[in-house]
Amino acid sequence: MMKLLRLLIGQVEQRWKPSTNSLRVSFRRSLGSRSATSRFTHRMLHRFSPAVPISPSDTSSPPPPRRARRQSGRLKQPRLIFAVAVLSLTAGLGQRFYNQPGLQVDSQAPETIIAPKDATVVDTESTEAQQMAARNGVLRVLMLDPAVNEAMLQSLDQLLQQGERLRQQAGTLPFLPTHRLSTAAQRYIQSADQEEWQSIWSLVQSWPLEQAPGSSSPSEGNQRQHEEFQSLSPQPKQVARELITLRQQESSVAFATLGDQLESVRRRYQRTLTDIEQMDQPFGPRLLQLSEEEWQATKTGLRQVTDRMITQGISPGLPSDVLKDAIGTQLQETVPSVATPLATQMLTSVLTPNLIEDPERTRLQAEKAAEAVEPVTVSVQQGEVIVAAGETISQADFVLLDHFNLSQRRFNWLGFVGYGVLVAGGVSIFLLVEHIYHGGLRRRDYVLITLMVMTTAGLLVFGSAAYGLPAVGLLVGSFYGSALGATVIALLGILVPIGTNVSSVPLVASVVGALVGSVVASRLRSREELALLGGGIGLTQGGVYLILTLIVNPVSPSAWYGILTGSALQGAYGLVSSILALGLSPYLEHVFDLVTPIRLAELSNPNRPLLKRLSSEAPGTFQHTMFVASLAEAAARVLGCNVELVRAGTLYHDIGKMHDPQGFIENQMGGPNKHDQIADPWLSATIIKKHVTEGIVMARKCRLPKALRAFIPEHQGTMLISYFYHQAKERAAEDATLVVREEDFRYDGPIPQSPETGIVMLADSCEAALRSLKEATPEEALTMVNRILRARWKDDQLVDSGLTREHMRIIADIFVQVWQQYNHKRIAYPKAALAAKPSA
């Protein structure tokens, strides 16, 4: 397996081998950082590499800096650690193989097995399956929905009120005393077609007053009217007869008034009928044709039928024709027969399903159904054959074999070894992904990841392994990036179901939720965002569980309560797991010395005690630090480095100056220079160098992460304190007894070991020079920055940082841009405005 791992890593290195510049960087790393060989190699590479001017003329885009592993983080015993990790993970995750039956369901029996004695055994698995089927098959318990009932009653009242307004608008029946015209005649006159009514009215007006309507012997001049009368259908004929009789009985004036009244009634009726046709209501001409007595009886009957049907309940999904038949049955002998069609239409529009599931009673009903299931038992007599040789072992056979300890349970060495090979392959894949996407894990990081995976293995004992995956994904993704987090979760999603018996649906739901957490966590920059991510993980896990349950299992309507409850529980598990991870993350960050974006953001808060001390005790150094941070951040962002790490490291890189603030010119505020009073370059150099050692002491006391502590010595590297070195050489020229050694005036190092510390060294070196430029042009500023960067390059300060000459060009351009932003010109105020006095 180790050979396979080395082969895979070798292939990846060949495939991902960068250009000549990155190759030179990798070659420099393979040599020491301080050895003479390293310095010689660096000079040779510098001499024979293609000339790349440090100027803005070259617009090529170099590859990002390659990050070197720190010597302290290298694993000295990779084979041993690999073996320990594989063995521990195999032992933790492969619990299936500890007490595994040799004879399992659906396998063939190697020999005939006979029952040693009588036994009746409960088949727990089959019993649980039948109980689950009983729960899923139970009918839902329904209850009335008060809100829907109230809405139906209100809708009926509104409908009746609207019908009342329409009837009043059309005019009520009868509109004449029934002794003059019958109700049937009045109803016909009101709703008759205009042409038909005109023919009837003309016939009535032209009928001879002396002749009775419908006479069998008409006069000679009345033959035409008689024929017209006989051609009418029965109802118009009856209306014409009543009108002719009324004309003969009343005066001409009274009858003319009646005609006007009938026309007015018809106009009102037609206007109301037009309004009804434009409404989206279950009304029609029948509403206007009912007499007042019939209408009142209809309203009363509608309310009674509605109350009865609401009380009986209307089930969801009831076909409309069935509902209509039920309404018709309820309306019989309740409303007048002439109003039955109208009442049916009105109730059909008002009544809606008002039965909803009673979840508590449904649950109790399901539990009762499950409890009513009799335990599935398997019986056998002594000497009876349980399973014959070559037969397939059924569930009932296995229950008996396991009861008599004949299932050959034992430690499955072969399966355990095979599972160990799978685990080794998973660890190899993880190491491969780590080499490609991270490449800087320390021994403690491997220990932490192994412990988190073993936590999942520990939860397997309680059958809750799936519920810990979101926490693992969130923590690994937050600590080491989305690639490693997703890899760990994907491998666990494959290895856990192979190594143990776990429900597939909850496992897949947890894996999906954990993948979401691992991918998103690395992009977040605050604990609040992580807390919101926990809610997202819970929703994802619950939603996936619901979808998979609906896909895998046939669901009856009565099982919805249990499914939704299970989905809600899965979402709660995901949320609780994320909350647990959020609470553990600060402790794990401190114990395992991790630097996450969130922790770096917290450490960059200027209200941190150490930074508040720096701003008050060494204000000049603090302002210097802020400008250096601006330069370094901008360069790190363009080069694709860790911007959060650069900012935090820059804020703490000069905290050691608090041991003697007046020893540094930025804190003297125009006062006397302390070093002029000392007049000893060796002692002054010692004071200057001491800010590095004192800074490391302060950083350790404040428990700053090791990655931040590295900025304190590496931002100075082994640079020469040139001012006091030349001052010492001048004194040595006057006093021959003085010996000047260059190492006395150099920092102790180490030189930058990462692109981030290298960028901070360059920003720190250029800060004072850029601040001194006030009226310089950008070209002059760039020339000065290039001179400083070239000096650091030739002094071998960047040999182990991963930065190349192409990166130097980009860094120089970025520094000048930031300087221009800080040194932008302002509009001068007029002298008169400055001298103006405030008004009274």
8 pLDDT tier (thresholds 50, 70, 90): very low
Q: Give the dihedral of Cα atoms 344, 346, 347, 350; nearest 10 deg.
A: 160
Give the number of other Cβ atoms within 10 Å of residue 330's Cβ.
Answer: 20
Two structure tokens written together for 124: 């727990």
Q: How high is the pLDDT of residue 811?
A: 93
Nearest Cα residue to 544 out of 570, 579, 524? 570
CA-based radius of gyration for the chain: 48
Concatenated DSSP letters for 94-107? -GGGTSEESS-TTS
Average pLDDT of 396-419?
Answer: 83
Instruction: Label residue 807 by pLDDT band (50, 70, 90).
Output: very high
pLDDT higher than 70, residue 18: no
Please determine, for residue 713, whether its predicted confidence score (pLDDT) is greater than 50: yes
Q: pLDDT at residue 60 above 80? A: no
Show Cβ contacts of residue 679 under 8 Å, excluding neighbours closer than 6 positions. none
pLDDT band at residue 34 under the 50/70/90 scheme:
very low
Give the residue-averaged pLDDT of 187-209.
Answer: 85
Amino acid at position 513, single letter: G
pLDDT score recorded for residue 560? 66
DSSP characters for 440-492? ---HHHHHHHHHHHHHHHHHHTTT-GGGGHHHHHHHHHHHH-HHHHHHHHHHH
For residue 492, the number of C-alpha atoms closer than 13 Å in the C-beta half-sphere is 34
Q: What is the pLDDT, as a whole number, of residue 422? A: 93
What's the confidence (pLDDT) of residue 83?
Answer: 86
Higher pLDDT, 827 or 757: 757
Cβ(581)–Cβ(471) below 8 Å: yes
pLDDT tens across 770-779, in order? 877 777 788 8
If DSSP codes are grouped into helix, strand and coil, which group holds residue 733?
helix
Position 205 pLDDT exceeds 80: yes
Across 231-240, 642-651, 772-781, 826-835, the highest mean pLDDT is recorded for 642-651
Q: What is the pLDDT of residue 760?
A: 93
Lowest mean pLDDT among 200-214, 614-628, 801-815: 200-214
- Quote the CA–CA distance of 24 and 405 in Å, as a whole number: 67
Give per-residue pLDDT as tens, 418-440: 999 999 999 999 989 988 887 67
pTM for the model stands at 0.60
Average pLDDT over residues 653-668: 82
Which tokens sit at 331? 């309306």
Report the first-to-last Cα separation within the chain, whole angstroms: 89
Question: Does the structure show a pLDDT above 80 at 232?
Answer: yes
Give me the percent of the chain exceeding a pLDDT of 90.
Answer: 15
Condensed to tens digits (0 to 9), the pLDDT of residues 255-307 reads: 888 888 888 888 888 888 888 888 877 887 888 888 888 889 999 999 999 99
Determine the average pLDDT of the residues in 315-333: 87
- The DSSP result for 400-436, as a single string, is HHHHTT-S-EE--HHHHHHHHHHHHHHHHHHHHHHHH
Show the tokens assigned to 340.
């039955």
| DSSP secondary structure code for residue 73 in this structure | G
- The b/e string for 232-269 (b: 16+ C-beta within 10 A; e otherwise) is beeebbbbbbbbbbbbeeeeeeebeebeeebeebbebb
Q: pLDDT value at position 173?
A: 79
* CA distances to 57, 192, 756 from 716, in Å: 29, 109, 13
DSSP labels, 386-399:
EE-TTPBP-HHHHH
The pair of three-digit structure tokens given for residue 584, joined into one six-digit string: 């553990």
CA–CA distance, 465 with 458 (Å, rounded to integer): 7
The region of weakest confidence among 74-83, 555-564, 634-643 is: 555-564
Statement: residue 223 has pLDDT above 80 = no
Is the pLDDT at 61 greater than 80, yes or no? no
pLDDT tens by residue, 624-637: 899 999 999 999 99
Query: What whole-number percentage of the chain has pLDDT above 70?
Result: 86
Please report which confidence band the pLDDT of residue 44 belongs to, taking 50, 70 and 90 as the band edges: very low
Q: What is the pLDDT of residue 178?
A: 84
What pLDDT sits at residue 194? 86
So what's the pLDDT on residue 52? 37
Q: Which of 109-113, 131-135, 700-704 has the lowest mean pLDDT?
A: 131-135
> Tokens 């008759």 map to which residue?
192
**531 pLDDT higher than 70:** yes
Q: What is the mean pLDDT of residues 365-383?
A: 86
Dihedral sign for Cα 416, 422, 426, 429, please. positive
pLDDT digits (tens, 9 = 90+) for 454-489: 887 777 666 665 677 888 888 898 888 889 999 999
pLDDT at 292: 84
- What 3-state class would DSSP assign to 304? helix
Task: Please tell me whether the peptide bond between 174 and the residue prior to it is cis, using omega within 30 degrees of 0.
Answer: yes
For residue 219, the model assigns a pLDDT of: 61
Please say if the pLDDT value at position 68 is more than 70. no
Domain boundaries defined on the chain: 78-95+411-594, 99-123+376-410, 145-331, 606-822
Give me the CATH topology for the region 606-822.
Hypothetical protein af1432 (1.10.3210)
pLDDT reported for residue 825: 56
Average pLDDT of 744-770?
A: 89
At residue 7, the pLDDT reads 45
Q: Sign of torsion, CA 434 436 437 440?
A: positive
- Answer with the residue of higher pLDDT: 62 or 71: 62
Average pLDDT score over residue span 153-158: 92
Please determine, for residue 1, whether its predicted confidence score (pLDDT) is greater than 50. no
Choose the weakest-confidence range: 71-85, 160-174, 389-403. 71-85
Token pair of 293, please?
Answer: 């007595």
Return the minimum-mean-pLDDT range out of 9-23, 225-239, 436-450: 9-23
Give the model's pLDDT for residue 697. 92
Of 365, 378, 364, 362, the C-alpha closest to 127 is 378
Residues near 21 by Cβ (< 8 Å), separated by ≥ 6?
49, 62, 63, 804, 805, 806
**What was the pLDDT predicted at 829?**
53
The pLDDT value recorded for residue 424 is 93
